[in-house]
């Protein structure tokens, strides 16, 4: 059973102290609310400091907005003068050296990376076949000259035969007319009359054959027998064949069409058969180089031919080349595409086009060597100045 404690027994024992409720932390007065009368009022220095911080904050915001507007205006006013693009490359005249005749490569007169002058021999083909063709064409030309002389003599002989036949026909006609009169009076026999008639017809036919022979010979002489042999078609044909053979002989020796540097010379070897029109190796013109750039069409509003330009090459950072804008292409690259874009559909999306342009650079003696295809960056000064009135 639980033990029961009476009130008298508990009076003599010590009692525990009563627990006190925790004190609530004083709440700060919210902004804009007046502090309660129970809370203590903040000091005036804290209120003034807070006001100064608010003013400073709003001032910084206003100053930032002003700086942003002024900076944007300055950027816009100073912009639009330069056309800049990194989509540009060094270009040069690059030629795959070849020839229009076929033959065996005999000698190669240059080496890889060698600088050559205009007209310098690059390589030669075996000239034996070409020289034989020249000798044959010369002989054919001489034979043609002799044939034309003989043809002129044949023409003169045919003319004499024609004149002789005409005289014979005239004599036969006179005899026939006379016999036609005498046969009526029986002064000549009918047989004599018929013989004279048939002889006249035979001689007239021979006269026609002689006339055709003269016309044929005259046609072979070009229609004018008194022309010199060099003006006749047959002679001109033989002379053209000789010129062609001599041209092929000259083409067997390949020369540099312009000054530059040869490359990929190892593609051609002595003893190799080189078909006509097949490239032997490359020749790059290092004296006349330019920059091919493709800026956006929207940046070319004020670009004009002759505007000064500066060029930097990725391979030579820090070095600047000077030049000028030579030309702006009259058409974009897509106009020359095999399958140009057709923008007639309803879901067409407008894309900013790029217009090719050419910048000529001036190379000085101290400039580093350039190679065709190097990446470049171009800046063209259009001298255009924007005004605030352009915004309105």
Q: Is 2 a domain residue?
A: no
Tell me if 36 is assigned to some domain: no
- Which tens digits make up the pLDDT trace of 225-259? 788 888 888 899 999 999 999 999 999 999 999 99
In a domain, 58, yes or no: no
List the CATH number of the domain containing 86. Answer: 2.40.30.170
Residues 6+ apart with CB under 8 A from 324: 306, 307, 308, 309, 359, 360
pLDDT of residue 39: 54
pLDDT value at residue 391? 65
- 267 and 360 inside one domain: yes
CA–centroid distance for 265 within its chain = 24
Q: Are residues 371 and 268 in the same domain?
A: yes
- Of 85-89, 297-301, 385-389, the least confident: 385-389
Highest mean pLDDT among 54-63, 121-130, 170-179: 121-130
The answer to whether residue 272 sits within a structural domain is yes
Q: Are residues 95 and 158 in the same domain?
A: no
Based on the fold, state whether residues 116 and 145 are members of the same structural domain.
no
Q: Say yes or no to pLDDT of 90 above 90.
A: yes
Q: Which domain holds residue 287?
A: 82-126+256-391
For residue 372, give the nearest of 282, 280, 257 by alpha carbon.
Answer: 282
Same structural domain for residues 98 and 138? no
Q: Are residues 236 and 266 in the same domain?
A: no
233, 250, 267 - which closes a domain? 250
- How would DSSP label each residue in 202-266? HHHHHHHHHHHHHHHHHHHTTT-TTS-GGGSHHHHHHHHHHHHHHHHHHHTEEE-SSSEEEE-GG
Query: Within 10 A of 260 (CB to CB), how many other CB atoms are there?
Result: 23
Q: Which of 234, 250, 266 is the last residue of a domain?
A: 250
| Predicted confidence (pLDDT) per residue in 315-365, tens digit | 999 899 999 999 999 988 778 777 766 666 666 677 788 899 999 998 888
* Confidence at residue 343, expressed as pLDDT on a 0 to 100 scale: 63
Domain boundary among 191, 223, 250: 250
Q: Determine, yes or no, domain membership for 171.
A: yes
Same structural domain for residues 92 and 134? no
Give the model confidence (pLDDT) of 61-88 as tens digits: 899 999 998 888 777 766 678 889 998 9
Residue 23 in any domain: the answer is no
Same domain, 121 and 260: yes
Report the number of distinct structural domains present in the chain: 2
Same domain? 121 vs 161: no
Which SS3 state, helix, strand or coil, does residue 303 take?
Answer: coil
Asked if residue 235 and residue 182 are part of one domain, the reply reads: yes
Task: Write phi, then psi, for 201 (nearest 5 degrees).
Answer: -65, -40
Is 221 found in the same domain as 273?
A: no
Q: Is the pLDDT of residue 25 over 50?
A: no
Give the residue-averaged pLDDT of 303-318. 93
Residues 245, 269: one domain?
no
Is 17 part of any domain? no
Note whether residue 40 is domain-resident.
no
């Amino acid at each position: 059973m639980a033990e029961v404690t009476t009130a008298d027994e508990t009076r003599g024992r010590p009692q525990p102290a009563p627990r006190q409720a925790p004190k609530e932390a004083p709440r700060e007065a919210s902004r804009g609310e007046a502090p309660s009368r129970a809370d203590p009022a903040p000091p005036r220095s804290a209120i003034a400091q807070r006001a100064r911080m608010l003013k400073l904050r709003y001032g910084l915001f206003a100053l930032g907005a002003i700086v942003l507007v002024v900076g944007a205006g300055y950027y816009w006013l100073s912009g639009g003068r330069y056309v800049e693009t990194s989509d540009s490359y060094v270009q040069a005249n690059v030629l795959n050296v070849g020839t229009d005749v076929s033959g065996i490569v005999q000698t190669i007169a240059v080496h890889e990376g060698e600088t050559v002058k205009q007209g310098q021999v690059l390589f030669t083909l075996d000239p034996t076949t070409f020289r034989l063709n020249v000798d044959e064409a010369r002989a054919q030309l001489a034979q043609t000259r002799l044939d034309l002389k003989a043809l002129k003599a044949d023409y003169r002989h045919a003319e004499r035969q024609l004149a002789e036949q005409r005289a014979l026909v005239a004599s036969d006609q006179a005899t026939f007319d006379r016999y036609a009169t005498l046969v009526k009076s029986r002064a000549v026999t009918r047989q004599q009359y018929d013989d004279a008639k048939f002889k006249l017809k035979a001689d007239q036919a021979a006269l026609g054959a002689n006339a055709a022979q003269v016309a044929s010979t005259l046609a072979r002489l070009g229609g004018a027998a008194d022309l010199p042999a060099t003006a006749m078609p047959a002679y001109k044909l033989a002379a053209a064949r000789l010129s062609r053979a001599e041209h092929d002989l000259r083409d067997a020796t390949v020369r540099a069409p312009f000054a530059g540097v040869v490359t990929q010379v190892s593609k051609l070897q002595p003893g190799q058969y080189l078909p006509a029109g097949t490239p032997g190796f490359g020749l790059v013109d290092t004296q006349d180089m330019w920059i091919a750039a493709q800026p956006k069409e929207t940046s070319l509003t004020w670009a004009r031919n002759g505007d000064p330009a500066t060029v930097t090459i990725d391979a030579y950072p820090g070095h600047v080349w000077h030049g000028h804008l030579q030309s702006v292409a009259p058409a974009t690259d897509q106009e020359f595409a095999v399958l140009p874009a057709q923008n007639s559909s309803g879901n067409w999306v407008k894309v900013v086009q790029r217009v090719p342009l050419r910048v000529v650079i001036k190379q000085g003696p101290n400039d580093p060597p350039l190679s065709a295809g190097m990446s470049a960056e171009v800046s063209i000064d259009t001298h255009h100045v924007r005004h605030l009135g352009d915004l309105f």
